[in-house]
Amino acid sequence: MADVSWTAAFPELAAIDDPVWRQTAAMARLVSVDAGTVLFRDGDACAGYVLVLDGSVRVQKMDPNGREIVLYRVEQGQTCMLTTACLLGATAYPAEGVAEEPTRLAMLPAAAFDHAVGASPAFRRFVLSAISRRIADLMLLIEDVAFGRMDMRLARLLLRRAGIGGELA
């Protein structure tokens, strides 16, 4: 059986002990990319389920004039929500993903992902839980943008970027 030690970056996945998941995890292709590597582009077909082992991927949308908006980042121990949506909905990517730093990924082939979601209840729970967490994060962001004061949001961002953390009222 192939090395599945990569699952250590995802304790929930490492704890799954069913034959379908073990077989699927063994099919993962481990990929290392440099900062600036474009992992997918708007309109690309989704080749597989992406799990970030370390590093960071910026998911962004570009307009025809070259302006961009960062939709979210996928960091160590996270999965790409857009990839999940594309796989589940059999659609192409509507944005692009770029490695922000040297990044290591595990990628499950699309067919293996599809089979595991249908045949492994524990893996399906992992995927749906990741979706649930991202939706909750999105709701908090919408609430903050709609009801939060701009100066407070900016102060929190600056503190977070400076590594200070802290909560402002």
The pLDDT tens digits for 86-115 are 999 999 999 999 999 999 999 999 999 999
The whole-angstrom separation of Cα 10 and Cα 132 is: 16
pLDDT grade for 158, boundaries at 50, 70 and 90 = confident
The predicted pLDDT at position 1 comes to 47
> What six digits make up the tokens of 14?
């490492």
Three-class DSSP category at 165:
coil
Q: What is the pTM of this model?
A: 0.79
Three-class DSSP category at 47:
coil
